[in-house]
Structure 1
């Protein structure tokens, strides 16, 4: 437990929003699927090699390598999220992308919220010359609703 955990434990959280990527497959299911795909592909390739089609094996390896790289890229971002916590005297925005954690802290009384001009645009938080965008993992139709909800909670501080 580090110092920031102690601070957040002693300070009451007024509201906590967690926005995650929409992933329907768990990492364990993902690995099981890839292993079964690899086993099935290698089994077919070995049968064909035994029948004399030896060129199938290298292409199966290339295919499995390409699929493995694509799966690794996907899995790297599968647990990305944004977490926004509102405390009585601060607003903390934590963004995790590919195991890179970025944390911003604002005074909730000074934060200005600007929803995007179109539903595709992300929400902007501005405070004292600093601007960040949030709402990457929100569905487009929910961004305006979330901006209004966040604005309402910030007025309570």
Structure 2
């Protein structure tokens, strides 16, 4: 998602976040419903003597819980892109700012790596000197295009490049 944030000065601030289809509480509710369904099924099998199913049902639910947790944690990533008159600042983190880069706007390039497949978004990178920083790597195609339109509107030149195809030996 690309969302404009209010700003006190003459800089434009944008919050970049991955799309979240469900909150953490929603994920827990789904897991609890699956737990209840699994408990009913496991109870039935246990009553007819197939008690061996118990540990496998437990492992399955533990793996599902781990998948929900990892997925929800990855959806907490966020980036704040600040486009000032002289500088571009990018802040990355989960619940707080964990990394920050500030680059002079005049000497910073935005590279757009073309997608290898028509259903995947292009990858964006800010480059200043020898350092390349990924911008919005978690954005979907529509959000990537929206971000590109915003950056063009602010006069940032976007340069395209193709990544070399991977070699299989």
Bin for the TM-score computed over the shorter chain: 0.7 to 0.9
Partner Cα separation in structure 1 for residue 32 and residue 60 of structure 2: 13
Partner Cα separation in structure 1 for residue 45 and residue 57 of structure 2: 11
Tell me the TM-score normalised to structure 1 length: 0.76
Tell me the TM-score normalised to structure 2 length: 0.71
Partner Cα separation in structure 1 for residue 34 and residue 143 of structure 2: 37
In terms of fraction of residues, the more helix-rich structure is 1
Structure 1 position 140 matched with structure 2 position 137: no
Q: 2:131: which partner in 1?
A: 130
Provide the aligned length of Structure 1 versus Structure 2.
147
Deviations 1:53-73 (A, max 9, x none): 211211111211221222222
- The alpha carbon displacement at 1:33 in A equals 0.9
Partner Cα separation in structure 2 for residue 80 and residue 17 of structure 1: 14
In terms of fraction of residues, the more strand-rich structure is 2
Q: 1:32: which partner in 2?
A: 29
- The alpha carbon displacement at 1:129 in A equals 2.6
Instruction: Mark the runs of 5 or more structure 1 residues left unpaired by the alignment.
Output: 1-8
Tell me: CA distance 1:39–1:97, structure 2 relative to 1, closer, same or farther (3 Å).
Answer: same
Partner Cα separation in structure 2 for residue 146 and residue 10 of structure 1: 18
Deviations 1:70-112 (A, max 9, x none): 2222122022222211234432112236988322111222212
Q: Which of 51, 54, 58 is 1:57 aligned to?
A: 54
Q: 2:109: which partner in 1?
A: 112
